[in-house]
Amino acid sequence: MPIKQTITSEKIPIKLWLDDIEQGALEQAKNLANLPFAFHHIAIMPDCHQGYGMPIGGVLAAENTVVPNAVGVDIGCGMCACETEKSANEIGVEELKKNLGLIRKQIPLGFKHHEKKQQEKWMPEIKSDLTIVKNEYKRAQKQIGTLGGGNHFINFMKDSKTGKVWIMLHSGSRNLGKRVADYYNQIAKKINKKQNSKVPKKWDLAYLRVDSKEGRRYIDEMNYCVDFALFNRKHMLVKIAQIFLQVTGSKVNLDKMINIAHNYAVKETHFNREVWVHRKGATRARKGEPGIIPGCQGSKSYIIKGRGNLESFKSCSHGAGRQMGRRQAQKNLDLKKEQSELEKKGILHSLRGKRDLDEAPGAYKEISKVMRDQNDLVDIEVELEPLAVVVAGG
């Protein structure tokens, strides 16, 4: 399936891999296309929805420039997935429940963190002068190995073909990433105001030149947060693997872990130009590169390989994408109906009350359509069906 739409009314084209885009996200995409440093075109993935400054599911290539809000506050947020040695038909409901119960006891969820600092071995090494990271380091030692809130989750899933159980995890850089993002976004705003930037303040896309002192520092601290988010996921996976072994007697293949990030900026070469590619809610999908595209807690997820499509800056979606805002879902969705649909499928879900409806299946786009819309970006390697899930919530 080729690109669904190309908008040519702005300074550079906007290429979309979806039929319908909400008005707010479209306006944000147009703002990106009119940035003075935006390169070649803007790519919008099929899971796109409105974010802060830049739409979630957007890809911006910028010349000599980084935009903190085009990365977002959860720097390095991403996914990891591991196959276990156990088949789903060898695990009963009670074993799955026991896994979930131990995870909830041993891994802090939502806004919770560890009472004690975690060992230094779990923290990435600080290799340069990182002002915010150093200020937050001790607090971050209590946050490493914690899930966080919102749509972060731990899933047990079944390979549709082999029946093997997979463990999938979605989490980010916790408060550390937010501190770095907020600090440098404010710095960028002050600099842009002082320099009479042509980028309107209301776009919320303040920027830093990569050759400036502030730009270099942001890049260094952002990269540390990307590493921190990975270490965070690894820390949790080790704990989950220990729990899984304790409950089922089976190992998790941690040495074959797949990891991807979907909120970051990185220097890459596209269309013969060296640019800073910002992926906000988008996953890199170079040719043959393994990746993960999750659905919601009631739908399938996918292990994929990238096709290296140049038109998407070698990117793909990071998930199904929201079709309802959090408050809208909590207000409009029917809790009993959402629970019933999950229970009919035999899924051990995390919809316990009305406040959890922001993560109900009805709040998300249909993952099968999202995958069809990007079949020129990725190839499906493994199809995973949900068995049980822990969603962090607020």
Active site residues: 318
Burial class (CB within 10 angstroms; exposed 0-12, middle 13-18, buried 19+) of 138: exposed
Angle at 55 between CA 73 and CA 367, to 5 degrees: 105
CA 224 to chain centre: 17
The angle, 0 to 180 degrees and rounded to 10, between the axes of the packed helices 213-248 and 131-143 is: 10
Closest to 232 in 3D by CA, of 177, 188, 300 = 177
Record the tokens describing residue 114, joined without a space. 């560890």
The CA distance from 349 to 344, in Å, is 11
The CA distance from 216 to 385, in Å, is 43
Amino acid identity, position 196: N
Cβ atoms 40, 271 nearer than 8 A: yes
Cβ atoms 268, 277 nearer than 8 A: yes
Record the tokens describing residue 46, joined without a space. 């099929």
Bridge pairing between strands 150-159 and 164-171: antiparallel
Record the tokens describing residue 16, joined without a space. 């979309």
Residue 152's SS3 state is: strand
Within 8 A by CB and 6+ apart from 104, the residues are 390
Record the tokens describing residue 140, joined without a space. 């971050």
Question: Taking the CA of residue 247 as centre, how many other CA atoms within 13 Å lie in the half-sphere pointing to its CB?
Answer: 23
Bridge pairing between strands 301-306 and 290-293: antiparallel
Q: How many residues does the chain have?
A: 394
